[in-house]
Amino acid sequence: MPTPIESWKNRTTYQKLLTVALLLTVAVAMSVRRPAVVTAAEAAAAAEEDDDNPHLWKPKTRSVAVFKNGLGFFMREGDVKFRDGWCVAEHIPPALFGTLAIYSLNEKEAVDIVGSGPGEVVEFDGRDAPKDVASKRARLEASTNLKVQLYYKHKGQDRNAAGKLVSVGPEFVVLDSGSNSFAVPLVGITKMQILELPLRVHVQGDEEKPADKSTMGMAYLRKGITWIPDYTLKVLDDETAELTLRGTVVNAAEDLIHTDLHLVVGVPHFTHTDYMAPIAVGQKIRSIGAALAAQAVPQQVTTQIMNRAAIVSNAIQAPGLAAPGVVERPVADGGGDLKASLGNLPQMSGAASTDYTVYTKKDVTLRRGEKAIITLFTRKIKYSHIYRWSPPEGMKHFLVLHNQTDTAWTTGPCLAVSAEHPLSEDLLKYTPKGSNGEFPVTAAINVAHSKSEREIDRKLKAHSPATHVYLDLVTLKGTVHLRNYEKRDVKIIISNPIPGKPIEADADAGISVDPSKLKLLERAGSVTWAVTLKPGEQKTLTYVYERFVPSH
């Protein structure tokens, strides 16, 4: 035969009956002579109520603009009802100075007061708030399901109790601290403080009347989130490649649940990134501790659901009521250790352009401490080849990537592959749309190249800058030899540094001098060619320059 308790467990009303039993036990523990704190109907209604208080604003993160320098611009939204135009909130973000904004999305409403502190305090003294029982009950009912601390008089003694306000009855208020429950006489309550909700917001409606309900937003810039771009370039044929951009998002800031991420190329100018918004500086919130943990409640008691009422028995009543556990902790921090989260990842912190490019990924869930690789786009692009040579270094082969896509390409590491074989891994630099970017591949082993120089003239003691000091003017001729062993035309850009003053060169060369090196013994310049060689073609280029050297 099942016991009455086992029968109750199979019924949908079990939880409601348990609530009544708990309230009855609380009344006995408080030495109250009334048969119950609240009626069974009131207890059942309280059990069915939603856990959220309608005046508690819980804005959810809707979008984040993530910059590559470790900053993120967060935007939150949420619906809320107001009590005389006021609502409370837990979230005070570690916003940077000058970037925190709280606003109403209704154009006829305005947020006119934003306050922060240890929590709203109401004194039932006839000045701050009326002290009659009906006014107290109305004010306490507006705080149902919030964590509060109540100060009250009972049997001539000043007491206080902290916990979640779960019910307001005709004579008593019931608090639940998680490990204990308290029945506080309503008539004796003198003060209430809201816990863990340091933010207070007042919204003024149309015609300067307090608003009733609204959708409000919060925007702020904070540290602790960044993204690192990287590319894969897959060569498809002689003219076409597939470029894929991915972003590694490192989140050490806060949980992002179904949030739109906007990964931004370029960094706006933020002057006060070393300072927090004044409303967030030094804030603490009071949270209820496990006051009864040291009471050593037997494990067999806590594991039996029908013995919950034993937690508020007379054996542990006095210390639990006399000193409810309240601890202080920071309201928010500046994010986790982003540097540690990044590890050895390359950090692209500089602005890539004076303009901004934004890559958007919608509906992302990424909790604090997590990293995620997000594919931002995959595009087919055209490419070509170019060879660059700056003696005495070897000639290098580059792929010229033609950006005819609808977006700029941000700076990031790129892996180039062809037919499942790697070609190169290097940095793809910022490339605006409509322009070309060069990506290094390898040394140009199929284009033979060499350079030689010889002296063709010398004027002895051509210049004497001081007594017994003479300089010779030497003229040299250089020769560059090229030969193409590729099976296609190759375009070669030669930038030849000259340790003197270049005076002539063939094949439509560009001649320039270094304006920072004009002293006779320091003169320098360069000769530049752009030539195209067909398969098997060879070419010889010449140049002439002069330089001063000490006479011997």
> Cβ of 354: how many Cβ atoms within 10 Å?
6
Candidate from 40-54, 214-228, 375-389, 473-487 with smallest mean pLDDT: 40-54
SS3 156: coil
Higher-confidence residue of 127 and 44: namely 127
What residues have CB less than 8 Å from 148, skipping those under 6 apart? 162, 163, 164, 165, 175, 192, 193, 194, 195
At residue 362, what are phi and psi to the nearest 5 degrees? -90, 155
If one compares 407 and 501, the residue with the highest pLDDT of the two is: 501
The count of other CB atoms within 10 Å of the CB of residue 260 is 16
* The pLDDT of residue 44: 44
pLDDT at 50: 53
Q: How confident is the model at residue 25 (pLDDT cuts 50, 70, 90)?
A: very low
Note the pLDDT of residue 22: 38
For residues 81 and 138, give the distance between their C-alpha atoms in angstroms, rounded to a whole number: 16
* pLDDT tens column, 300-339: 333 332 333 333 333 333 334 444 455 554 545 556 665 6
> What percent of the chain lies above the pLDDT cut of 90?
60
Q: What is the pLDDT of residue 542?
A: 97
Is 499 in contact with 392 (CB distance < 8 Å)?
no
Class of residue 28 by CB neighbours under 10 A (exposed 0-12, middle 13-18, buried 19+):
middle
CATH 2.30.30.100 spans which residues of the chain?
4-48+120-194
Task: Give which of 505, 500, 499 is closest to 530, Cα–Cα.
Answer: 505
Q: Given this model, what pLDDT does residue 543 score?
A: 98
Please state the three-class secondary structure of 29-76 as a single string.
HCCCCCCCCCCHHHHHHHHHCCCCCCCEECCEEEEEEECCCCEEEEEE
Distance CA 34, CA 358 (A): 66
* Least confident residue range of 79-83, 149-153, 346-350, 447-451: 346-350
Q: How does pLDDT run across 176-211, given as a tens digit for each residue?
A: 988 888 899 999 999 999 998 999 999 988 877 888
Domain with CATH 2.60.40 in the chain: 447-550
β-strand pairing of 490-498 with 371-389: parallel
Residue 398 buriedness (CB in 10 A; 0-12 / 13-18 / 19+): buried
Indicate the CATH number for domain 4-48+120-194: 2.30.30.100
The residues, any chain, with a CB within 8 Å of residue 24's CB and separated by 6 or more, are 35, 36, 37
Within 10 A of 519 (CB to CB), how many other CB atoms are there?
Answer: 8
**Is 537 or 271 the better-scoring residue by pLDDT?**
537
Mean pLDDT within 95-123: 90
pLDDT at 34: 35
Assigned token pair, 353: 């352009």
| Three-class DSSP category at 457 | strand
pTM of this structure: 0.70
- Other Cβ atoms closer than 10 A to 531: 19
Quote the pLDDT of residue 281: 66
DSSP helix/strand/coil, 161? strand
Task: Please state, as a whole number, how many other Cβ atoms lie within 10 Å of the Cβ of residue 503.
Answer: 13
Measured distance CA(407)–CA(35) in Å, rounded: 73
| Domain 447-550, CATH number (from 2.30.30, 2.40.160, 2.60.40, 3.90.25) | 2.60.40
Distance CA 136, CA 186 (A): 8
Please choose, from the candidates 164, 131, 133, the residue with its C-alpha nearest in 3D space to the C-alpha of residue 149: 164
Residues contacting residue 525 through CB under 8 Å, at least 6 positions apart: 497, 498, 500, 501, 502, 511, 512, 513, 514, 545
- Could you tell me the two tokens for 494? 């030669």
Of 291-300, 332-341, 432-441, give the lowest mean pLDDT range: 291-300
Pairing state of beta strands 60-66 and 71-81? antiparallel
User: What pLDDT shows up at residue 177?
Assistant: 86
Q: Is the dihedral of CA 161, 165, 167, 171 positive or negative?
A: positive
Q: Please state which of the ranges 168-182, 257-271, 303-317 shows the lowest mean pLDDT.
A: 303-317
